[in-house]
Amino acid sequence: MGRQRLAIVGGDAAGMSAASIARRRDPEIEIVAFERGPYTSYSACGIPYYVGGLVDDADRLISRGPEEHRAAGIDVRTRCEVVAIDLAARRLTVRTGTGEESEEPFDQLVVATGARGVPPPIPGADAIEPARTVDAGERLRAALERGGGSAVVVGAGYIGLEMAEALVDRGLRVTMIDQASQVMATLDADMAGHVQDAAEGTGVRVVLGAAVEEIVVDEAGAPVAVRTADECFEADHVVVGAGALPDVELAAAAGLQLGDSGALRVDDRQRCPGHDGVFAAGDCAESHHRVLDRMVNIQLGTHANKQGRIAGVNATGGDERFPGVIGTAVSKICRYEVGRTGIGEREAASAGIAVVSATIKDRTRAGYYPGAGPIWVKLVAEPGSGRLLGGQIVGVEGAAKRIDVLAIAVWTGLSVQELALLDLSYAPPFSGVYDPLLIAARATAKLL
């Protein structure tokens, strides 16, 4: 057997994590990574901060560029799109920026194609490029710098909210439109209301329950307005902050299985069932949700990095397991920080899981300590046992990272009764003598 060759499709978090750990584990294997864009290992999460000007140089979003990966012994081919995978022949068809195609063999394969923004099925939608990559972010920022005083953001999820804030930071008048009846569908409506308050407090006009019916474009094809059933919002800039779908077209065409979530089916070793030596990781793959006990597709850099790493270990003869996810996420939205983990009341209802739930409002510091501000904590627990199933936090600085405390509690199956008496830290700059999480746990325990 000659030298083994590991091919990676996709050069961002999952793909390059796989490549990097494989390189460290096996000095002999040949590793080639194909990325259709110009960059590798970038922070898509940082794009709103670059668009808003909080980060001035797009290069800072690149945690490791192609040259660095090459110096580490990974053959990175940027502006190279994999257009076909032949699993039987173990061969990729790759198209370069100039349109030439070549065949590339592999022994092991990691599919890390990520997710792609999907234009809504309305007229004009094609005129908007979702800012999901660094180069798309650069094009958006360049457009903003050319002028214009108003913007419409379509979609009020966390990316839409971060984009709206970024545009307000640039001095634009911003309207954010979503067909849902609340912002941030990952939160329950009551908690999402506080986030909406924060966005509106910054000056964003939030229009909810309004489906966008058309992106109105001028003769040159540039967007000039966004039309809903009731209103037409003129805009110098239109930004889409709506969700994305796992980018699985290539892999599905090759015969890899899709799960119910629409993402690539993998086992807990990131293996694609039925295809030895073929792995998938990141936004294009499924994960096991430990609370819902079903496969889900959650597109986050943190999962992509971990899964990519595990794929890279297992592609080079190792045996590591990805233990699954519990839906932990955090974001900063205007004056509030927002965190969530496990399941909320709405998710519980749609999964047919009975829960008890309590929400408390407290302050992030001792009342007398300067800088104290509001924090809301909502907990969701299993009736009877009191096992914590999920938590949501909204509040001022210092609020959101407390979600990790709840994440460990959900992960380990802790009950709210036990949490209520747990030895959490206290000092006046960080909380009242009862941490808000303890107060929320006690309030929830009372309902059992």
Number of residues that bind a copy of itself (CB under 8 A): 66
Nearest of 210, 213, 152 to residue 180 by alpha carbon? 210
For the annotated catalytic residues, the residue numbers are: 45
State in angstroms the smallest separation of the CB of 232 from a copy of itself: 34
Going residue by residue from 35 to 64, which x/- string records binding to a copy of itself, judged by CB under 8 A?
--------x-xx--x----xx----xx-x-
State in angstroms the smallest separation of the CB of 54 from a copy of itself: 6
Q: How far is CA 336 from CA 274, 314, 320, 327, 378, in A?
A: 46, 40, 37, 20, 15
* Interacting span for a copy of itself (CB under 8 A) from 169-177, 187-195, 234-242, 295-303: 295-303
Q: According to the binding rule CB under 8 A, does residue 424 interact with a copy of itself?
A: yes
Residue nearer to a copy of itself on the CB measure, 121 or 368:
368
> What DSSP element (H or E) covers 47?
helix 47-52
In the set 189, 434, 447, 448, which binds a copy of itself (CB under 8 A)? 434
d(CA 186, CA 197): 16
Q: How far is CA 361 from CA 128, 150, 186, 392, 399, in A?
A: 40, 35, 20, 12, 12
The DSSP symbol for 265 reads P
State in angstroms the smallest separation of the CB of 229 from a copy of itself: 34
Residue nearer to a copy of itself on the CB measure, 246 or 301:
301
d(CA 322, CA 401): 23
Measure the CA angle with vertex 124, ends 243 and 180; round to 5°.
35
Q: According to the binding rule CB under 8 A, does residue 293 interact with a copy of itself?
A: no
Task: Return the SS3 of 379.
Answer: strand
Residue 232 in contact with residue 152, Cβ under 8 Å? no
Q: According to the binding rule CB under 8 A, does residue 325 interact with a copy of itself?
A: yes
Q: According to the binding rule CB under 8 A, does residue 429 interact with a copy of itself?
A: yes
Q: According to the binding rule CB under 8 A, does residue 300 interact with a copy of itself?
A: yes
Residue 343: Cβ-neighbour burial (10 angstroms; 0-12, 13-18, 19+): buried
Within residues 357-416, the interface with a copy of itself by CB under 8 A covers 366-370, 397-398, 400-405, 407-409, 411-412, 414
> For binding to a copy of itself (CB under 8 A), which residues are involved?
13, 43, 45-46, 49, 54-55, 60-61, 63, 300-303, 305-306, 322-332, 337, 339, 341, 366-370, 397-398, 400-405, 407-409, 411-412, 414, 418-419, 421-431, 433-435, 437
